[in-house]
Amino acid sequence: MMNSEQGDRELGIEAGAPAPAEARLQLKREILRPRLAREKKSDALGDIGMAASLARQFVRQHPYTSLSGAALAGVWLIRRKPWRALGGSLLAGLLARQALTLLLSSGSQLLRGLTAAARSRQASNRMP
């Protein structure tokens, strides 16, 4: 009983006013739709998204190790040119596409953070 009352309060339903079951169901569906959309979006990346998040976490924890590892990987890639054996343009295209996708997603997150910070500064500068 307590959980349904708490859920009703979160949905904006008054405790004294009896709400029809269909209206409550519709409100709950409206709340769940954005959550499901976010989950589907994050699942679309699959293993690549998981690997990217692990890589970001590692880079945050060990920035100097990541930098030296990236430099060594770059030297190895330039010297050995392993993409020649793997099909050259096909692999390069796939890697470029993945890199662009990750850059765009990171850029959109950065842009959202900057706009949120600007809005909060703008709201704090307003006189009441």
Domain positions in the chain: 2-44, 87-128
CA gap 67, 128 in Å, rounded: 48
pLDDT in tens, 82-120: 767 766 677 777 888 888 887 777 767 777 777 888 888
Total-model pTM: 0.34
Task: Write the Ramachandran bin of 58: left for phi over 0, alpha for psi from -120 to 50, otherwise beta.
Answer: alpha
CA gap 20, 23 in Å, rounded: 5
pLDDT in tens, 51-79: 888 888 888 899 899 889 989 998 998 89
CA gap 19, 27 in Å, rounded: 11
CA gap 29, 35 in Å, rounded: 10
